[in-house]
Amino acid sequence: MRAASLVVLIAVILPFLLGQFWAYQLGLYALYAAAAVGVGLCWGQAGFLPLGQALFFGLAAYLSGLAFVAFQDTPIVAVLILPLGAIAAGLLAYLIGSLVFRRSGESGAYFSMITLALALLAFQIATSWNSVTGGFNGLKGIPGLPGLDDISDVYYVSAAILLAVLAFAGWLYNAPIGVLWRALAQNERRLQLFGFDTNQLKAVAFGISGLMAGVGGAIYAPQQGIVTPQVIGFGLSAELVIWAAVGGRASLFGPVIGTLLVGSLTAQLRDTLPFWEVLMALFFIAIVLVFPRGVAGLAEPLLRRFPPRRRKQAAIVAPGDPAARPPAKLALDDVSVHVGEVTILDQLSVDFEQAGIFCVIGPNGAGKTSMFNAVSGELGAASGKIGLGGVMTSGLAPHRVSALGVARKLQIPSVFADLSIADNLAVALWSGRAGKLALLDPRLRRWTSPMLKELQSRYPFLAAGARKAAELSHGEQQILELAMALLTEPRVLLLDEPCAGLSPEETAAAMEIIRWAQQRLGGAIIIIEHDMSLVKELAQIVYVLHNGALLAKGSVAAIQADPAVRAVYVGGEK
């Protein structure tokens, strides 16, 4: 709260300190800053880079400009429909995001290139569609906002808009959706396996960033009185990215600092110093390569000396009880998976009882992890059916399979390294419990559950909320991921070598917790394991995979006596 009132105070007194000329400049750059906050949201939070953000700024500017020209005599009507321009920009961004993210590949490069192309296209349309946009010379003679007389009024409107955008962004970053965006940037696959539709999360982020750019653009038209193709094209898009990067894309205020600092300096120095923009580009590369936190990052050590006072807030017991779902049988029927020429699963038929601990063993390349990938929806089956308690899951996306009550722990510990332990655990708690709108409610970050309390009493490090997951040891990360998988209270839990890399003590503890969890959840726990001593301890039934098919199934003793299994392991006969 202190920080917020300080920022408002600075915004109010700034024109008195700097004078009319700078008030005018800042009034303009505050609008660009609103768009830059959106770039920071996409890039610094959700981890994808929009290269054509001016598209939304410019679109809203043209729409609002047209409205002000059309309702010249009744400007109040234009003011009332002004938000529509911003909303249109936001909707367009959401639409583009949903279309492109559905199949964009992992790196996000495809998305960036498409946004770049869209901005170039918009520039071309704006320059060539003379009858509507005024062509290269732009849309001229746009009347100003009614009732604003001098430059400081204009500045205060922009500043208020920017502060509103910042408040909105700050709230989002603090809400569960902000946590999910940051989780997504680090480990998209893990988030999908927790049942979150990551493509939609990205599309929403992009839509909101489009809205923020649109808000800036909609005010820009009446403020400047003219809208030219420059505001929709590549140039502004590029600058927004530079400003966000230089200021610090990951922080809330970074993009604003970058825009007001670099943007207004550039406006002054562009003409007097010919190499100013070359310097800025060099500076940008340096920031990307060695100092990704930007100018705002410089302030971090300073801020750490004044930690915000946090009231200790009471935890809230998460609503809903996923464990109330009845246990269900997981069954694979005649499932084949091919990657290229190679057959990975070869008409695999296997079913698991609805409750118990089962181990899957088999030599390397037998298809154990691939079976998990097929069950969790990451690997499409060429033929065959996978069902959970009579519901077909084959063909469903990973987040939908997860929603049916299938949780998974990956072989290499896979947690959200840059998030705190508390946030890692919270993501798991939200899985399957939090509705889409609830993700906007910051109170969800205080969720706990009886299961979490029990886990925290077994593993005290899980209660050390503010520590980053990256600071944990390998063994602790394994436990953290296991705890996260358990917190979703799944009907079927898939564990891929949960004890790999653990010390003997940690292994014993992990085995104990697996048994406890099975009792507690009452469902099925399926474990891929190489260590036969573990298998002997845990497994009620052992499944042996070989060459993508089920070779044998039975008790530990029966499997050990099975000549076919011995042949595979010892390599007797083919």
**Nearest in space to 319 (alpha carbons), one of 438, 455, 453, 465:** 438
Q: Which is nearer to other proteins, 111 or 156 (CB)?
A: 111
Backbone angles phi, psi at 331, to 5 degrees: -140, 130
What the block records as the tokens of 238 is: 């590029």
Q: Which is nearer to other proteins, 64 or 199 (CB)?
A: 199
3-state secondary structure of 542: strand
CA distance 485 to 480: 9
Which H/E stretch holds residue 177?
helix 176-186
CA distance 87 to 123: 20
Helices (H), 345-473: 368-375, 398-403, 421-430, 450-458
Q: How far is the CB of 211 from other proteins (least distance, A)?
A: 22
Binding mask 481-520 for other proteins (x = CB under 8 A): ----------------------------------------
Q: Which of residues 175-234 bind other proteins (CB under 8 A)?
A: 234
- Taking the alpha carbons at both ends of the chain, their separation in whole angstroms is 72
**Residues listed for the chain:** 574
CA distance 477 to 470: 8
Q: Which of residues 64-103 bind other proteins (CB under 8 A)?
A: 99-100, 102-103
Q: Which residue has the tokens 């063909």?
A: 395
- The correct pick among 15, 38, 40, 47 for binding other proteins (CB under 8 A) is 47
Q: Which is nearer to other proteins, 103 or 309 (CB)?
A: 103
Q: Which is nearer to other proteins, 192 or 223 (CB)?
A: 192
Residues that bind other proteins (rule: CB under 8 A) add up to a total of 42
403 to 72, 309, 384, 395, 433: CA distances (angstroms): 53, 37, 21, 14, 9
CA distance 214 to 91: 10
3-state secondary structure of 167: helix
Q: Which residue has the tokens 């299938």?
A: 406
C-alpha of 357 from chain center: 33
Q: Which of residues 322-361 bind other proteins (CB under 8 A)?
A: 340
Count Cβ atoms below 10 Å from residue 301 Cβ, excluding itself.
8
- The correct pick among 13, 164, 278, 317 for binding other proteins (CB under 8 A) is 278
Q: How far is the CB of 264 from other proteins (least distance, A)?
A: 19
Q: How far is the CB of 296 from other proteins (least distance, A)?
A: 17
The interface region with other proteins, picked from 6-14, 76-84, 269-277, 402-410 by CB under 8 A, is: 269-277
CA distance 185 to 107: 10
Q: Which of residues 228-257 bind other proteins (CB under 8 A)?
A: 234, 238, 241-242, 245
Binding mask 407-446 for other proteins (x = CB under 8 A): ----------------------------------------
Q: How far is the CB of 110 from other proteins (least distance, A)?
A: 6
Taking CB under 8 A as the rule, does residue 373 contact other proteins?
A: no
The interface region with other proteins, picked from 274-282, 379-387, 442-450, 551-559 by CB under 8 A, is: 274-282
DSSP string across 220-273 = HHHHHS-B-GGGTSHHHHHHHHHHHHHH-TTSSSHHHHHIIIIIHHHHHHTTT-
Q: Which is nearer to other proteins, 102 or 436 (CB)?
A: 102
Q: How far is the CB of 208 from other proteins (least distance, A)?
A: 21
CA distance 116 to 238: 9
Q: Which of residues 135-164 bind other proteins (CB under 8 A)?
A: none
Q: Which of residues 101-130 bind other proteins (CB under 8 A)?
A: 102-110, 112-114, 116-118, 120-121, 124-125, 128
Q: How far is the CB of 362 from other proteins (least distance, A)?
A: 25
Identity at 231, one-letter amino acid code: V
Q: Which is nearer to other proteins, 289 or 324 (CB)?
A: 289
User: Between helices 276-290 and 234-247, what is the axis angle to 10°?
Assistant: 50
What the block records as the tokens of 250 is: 């990951």
The interface region with other proteins, picked from 43-51, 58-66, 148-156, 481-489 by CB under 8 A, is: 43-51
Q: How far is the CB of 210 from other proteins (least distance, A)?
A: 17
Q: Which is nearer to other proteins, 110 or 459 (CB)?
A: 110
Q: Which is nearer to other proteins, 279 or 392 (CB)?
A: 279
Residues contributing to the site for other proteins (CB under 8 A) = 47, 49, 51, 99-100, 102-110, 112-114, 116-118, 120-121, 124-125, 128, 234, 238, 241-242, 245, 274-275, 277-278, 280-282, 284-285, 288-289, 340
